[in-house]
Chain A
Amino acid sequence: MAYDKFSILTSSAVPLPIENVDTDQIIPARFLKATERKGFGDNLFRDWRYNSDNTPKEHFVLNNPIYSGKILVGGKNFGSGSSREHAAWAVYDYGFRCVVSSFFADIFRNNCLNIGVLPVQVSAEYLDKIFKAIEANPKTEIEVNLPEQRISILETGESESFAINDYKKQNMLNGFDDIDYLLNIKNDIQQFAQNTPL
């Protein structure tokens, strides 16, 4: 399905300076039982966010009212593990539109791009700068400029460029998805299929 267009996002950010955040943490398997795509945000980081009696864990960042915003900033190797797109849905449904890290797991990155959440990969040094800026001022605004492929900490002016392939960039800017593209070349695909050996 088509998704929200993404151009320039300016927002405060939520810091999660933990490495190897896997998709079982982002959304535990027991919450994958829906047959529709809704309500996943409630269970984002469920076991880090809530005790077993469903009371919030005070120290977890999503339960700390001083942090908010549409950008989630995570440590290295964010989104490793399972292919569950539910992890990306949970991130989106909670209200994030962009995830920043110094390294993303492949499938999670793809899943984000496919639903209109922009994964922004920055250098380890720049990631550190973002964490420090948020630590100094939790309301620090970060600008993610997709047309120019640039991320900036507005307060300090520190910025860095990020990569995204042209095709996905156009999709994000216009809110198109891959199925629109593929359905458009269905004849080519059917012709190709006739000549496959398997």
Chain B
Amino acid sequence: MSKTLFDKVWDSHVVHHIENGPDVLFIDRHLVHEVTSPVAFLGLKNRGIKVLYPERTFATADHNTPTRNQHLPVKDKLSANQLKALEENAKAHDIPYWGLGHEKNGIVHVIGPENGITVPGATIVCGDSHTSTHGAFGAIAFGIGTSEVEMVLSTQCIMQPKPKSMRITINGELNNAVTPKDVALYIISQLTTSGATGYFVEYAGEVFRNMSMEGRMTVCNLSIEMGARGGMIAPDSATYEYIKGREYTPKDKDWDKAMEYWNTLYSDNDAAFHKEISFNASDIEPMITYGTNPGMGIGIQSGIPTAKAMDAGAATYQKSLAYMDFNEGEAMIGKPIDFVFLGSCTNGRIEDFRAFASIIKGRKKAENVTAWLVPGSHKVEEAIKAEGILDILNESGFELREPGCSACLAMNDDKIPAGKYAVSTSNRNFEGRQGPGARTLLASPLVAAAAAVTGKVTDPRELMELQEA
């Protein structure tokens, strides 16, 4: 029978199927962080059991960690407590723990691929919704709640009904300055934040084939923002080139054996999806959001839609614009901004810093802008230094922070103050997401860079043309 890529990976991991109920799904890799795991470990303690497969479990600290002075004790008592709990739990259960200062430390979805934990055809979970990132490698990867973290720690399985399948195909060539982030924000703007709820998405077509692995990670990362459980892209030569030789990827005979499996990972020609959607690459412009969910995005040159044009309830829409202090019909271009945040599991990798640097090079940070540039991991930080990007940043008046989730969810001190506008490369513009009262404009690293040097919402193409001229 013909199968989709998703079917192939899911079906090969089903330990048990319960009639009119969920599947018992075996999990190959479990990523653990400090915020969603302590209660799960407590559950194991109460049951008197140990982690079943510590060798399939990896722990890091990222969500609540400071992005400055990581060599000093963490000041916030509650955060320090969570970090201590994870360290102790990891030790008690023989799980590798990459805490603050460790060379492999970083955002959980950045370090998974970096260290070869993420491989094609695997099932990967983490108590974090952006686990969908790992789907870029042809893995089934999704976020779970703490009860499920406890399940995976204790039995390496979760129980979930199989989601429906959706394929999103984009062919054609992308316009200048349109990045993977823009592709994702465009899709979400078309589908809304609940448009893919209940589905697992496969991204297909020329645009994704031609995308780098880091770009694919950005796209898959944002799958959850349209409600999808996850998103995935069939592995190809780019995938194998990326993973080969990394610490945890299979070696030698194991690689050959894995490759036999990986070579089967594509959707069969006549495989049926529950839903098929396609877009044209040429319709996508550099994007920016104007509201309080990631579906409220527009091409940067467009005006804010009117309530009448929206599918969502008018009251909810107006509440959202009131929070942002924006009006229907206004242009986004030229709006003054206060903060720029480059980082997160969405856009905190080396290609994102390269893109940011390409715009700010030879320019100065705008005086009215506070910029927080936060690498996704120490390895990203090292690459920023090695490639000379740090020098470019410093010459333009920017400084680099230490790795972590930072202002994406503002659990640490990196909070955007109430009422201030932040152009942010992260993934959510919900009310208060980046700090109580903070106003977030989601965009690509190029748009963030253009805002950082002009102090307002600016089309990066204008600055790129000047550079070329």
Chain B residues lying within 8 Å of A166, measured Cβ to Cβ, are 19-21
In contact, A167 and B81 (Cβ under 8 angstroms): no
The answer on a CB contact under 8 Å between B436 and A105 is no
Asked if B197 and A106 sit within 8 Å, CB to CB, the answer is yes
- Taking a contact as CB atoms closer than 8 A, the residue among B15, B144, B250, B410 that contacts A29 in the complex is B410
User: How many angstroms between the C-alpha atoms of A81 and B224 in the bound complex?
Assistant: 7
- A85 CB contacts on chain B under 8 angstroms: 36, 39, 127, 145-147
Q: Judging by beta carbons under 8 Å apart, are A111 and B129 in contact?
A: no
Binary contact track B288-300/A, C-beta < 8 Å → 1, others 0: 0000010000000
CB-CB under 8 A for A20 and B143, given A25-B431, A32-B35, A189-B157? no
Q: Which of B148-156, B234-242, B372-380, B457-465 contacts A (4 or more CB under 8 A)?
A: B148-156
Q: Which A residues, 41 to 90, have Cβ-Cβ distances below 8 Å to chain B? A: 47, 52, 75-77, 80-86, 88
Let me know if B121 is at the binding interface, CB within 8 A.
yes
B321-344 interface (Cβ within 8 A of A): none
Question: Among B64, B122, B150, B293, which residue has its beta carbon within 8 angstroms of that of A33?
Answer: B64
User: Is B251 engaged at the interface, CB distance under 8 Å to the other chain?
Assistant: no
Of B22-30, B102-110, B207-215, B381-389, the one with at least 4 CB within 8 A of chain A: B22-30
- Indicate if A148 sits at the interface (CB-CB under 8 A): no
Q: Are B128 and A179 in contact (CB under 8 A)?
A: no
Within 8 Å by CB of A47, from B76, B156, B431, lies B431
Q: Residues of A contacting B46 with CB < 8 Å?
A: 1
CA of A167 to CA of B160, assembled, Å: 11
- Give a binary string over A176-195; 1 marks a CB under 8 Å from any B CB, 0 the rest: 01110111011011101100
Instruction: Tell whether, in the assembled complex, residue B143 and residue A76 are in contact, meaning their CB atoms are under 8 Å apart.
Output: no
Q: Assess whether A83 is in contact with B36, with CB atoms less than 8 Å apart.
A: yes
Q: How far is the CB of A11 from chain B (nearest CB, A)?
A: 24
Closest B residue to A192 by CB, please name it: B15
Bound: A30/B428 CA distance, A: 15
A107-B143 in contact given A37-B39, A182-B157 (Cβ < 8 Å)? yes
- Chain B residues within an 8 Å CB radius of A19: 312-313, 316
CB of A75 within 8 A of CB of B316, answer yes
Q: Which residue of B lies closest to A109 (CB)?
A: B197
From B36, B197, B428, give the contact of A77 (CB < 8 A). B197
A18 at the interface (CB under 8 A from B): yes
Contact partners of A86 in chain B: CB under 8 A = 146
Residue A115 interfacial (CB < 8 Å): yes
Q: Does A35 contact B (CB under 8 A)?
A: yes
> Size of chain A's interface in residues, with CB distance under 8 A?
59
Give chain B residues whose Cβ lies under 8 Å from the Cβ of A186: 52, 155
CB contact between B15 and one of A52, A165, A177, A185 (< 8 Å): that residue: A185
- Cα separation A178 to B151 with both chains bound (whole Å): 7
Closest to B291 in A: A20
Restricting to A93-113, which residues have a CB under 8 Å from any CB of B? 103-107, 110-111
Which chain A residues border B155 with CB–CB below 8 Å? 179, 182-183, 186, 189
- Verify A77–B227 contact, CB threshold 8 A: yes
Interface pair B122/A81, CB less than 8 Å apart: no
A34 within 8 A of B: yes
A20→B53 CA distance, assembly (Å): 37
When the two chains form the complex, which single residue of B19, B49, B436 contacts A28, counting CB atoms closer than 8 Å?
A: B436
Distance of B179 from chain A, by nearest CB (Å): 23
List of A residues within 8 angstroms of B122 by Cβ: 198
A185 to B40, CA, bound (A): 20
Give the chain B neighbours of A84 by CB distance below 8 A: 35-36, 145
Alpha-carbon distance A115/B36, docked complex (angstroms): 15
What residues of B have a CB within 8 angstroms of the CB of A192 in the complex?
Answer: 15, 26
| Residues of chain A within 8 A of B21, CB atoms compared | 165-168
Chain A nearest CB from B52 CB (Å) reads: 8
Per the bound structure, the CA–CA distance linking A106 and B292 in Å amounts to: 20
When chains A and B are docked, how far (Å) is the Cα of A48 from the Cα of B102? 39
Give CA–CA (A196, B250) in the complex, Å.
13
Q: Is the CB–CB distance between A165 and B20 below 8 Å?
A: yes
Residues of A contacting B43 with CB < 8 Å? 1, 179
Say yes or no: is B411 at the interface (Cβ < 8 Å to chain A). Answer: yes
In the bound complex, residues from chain A placing their C-beta under 8 Å from that of B348 are none
Residue ID in chain B nearest A3 by CB atoms? B147
- For A24, what are the chain B residues with a Cβ–Cβ distance below 8 Å? 409, 428, 430-433
Q: Given A81-B430, A165-B161, A186-B155, A110–B145 Cβ distance below 8 Å?
A: yes
Measured between beta carbons, the chain B residues less than 8 angstroms from A52 are 418, 436-437
Question: Which residues does chain A contribute within 8 Å of B437, judged by CB atoms?
Answer: 47, 52
Are B411 and A33 neighbours in the complex by a CB distance under 8 Å? Answer: yes
- Is B204's CB within 8 Å of the partner chain A? no
A18/B154 contact (C-beta < 8 A), A25-B430, A29-B410 known: no
Report chain B residues within 8 Å CB of A111: 145-147
0/1 per residue, B180-201, Cβ < 8 Å to A?
Answer: 0000000000000110011000
Q: How far is the CA of A192 from the CA of B76 in the complex (A)?
A: 43
A12 within 8 A of B: no
One digit per residue, 1 when the CB lies within 8 angstroms of any chain B CB and 0 when it does not, for chain A 150-181 equals 00000000000000011110000000011101
8 residue pairs A–B, Cβ–Cβ below 8 Å: A24-B409, A35-B39, A103-B197, A105-B227, A106-B229, A185-B16, A188-B16, A197-B121
Q: Which 7 A-B pairs have the closest CB atoms?
A: A167-B21, A85-B145, A33-B78, A83-B143, A114-B147, A111-B145, A35-B38
**A interface residue numbers (CB < 8 A to B):** 1, 17-20, 22, 24-25, 28-30, 32-37, 47, 52, 75-77, 80-86, 88, 103-107, 110-111, 114-115, 165-168, 177-179, 181-183, 185-186, 188-190, 192-193, 196-198
Known contacts A106-B229, A179-B147, then 14 further A-B pairs from the complex at CB < 8 Å, ordered by chain A residue: A22-B293, A37-B39, A52-B436, A77-B227, A80-B227, A81-B430, A83-B127, A85-B39, A107-B143, A107-B144, A110-B145, A167-B18, A178-B151, A183-B47
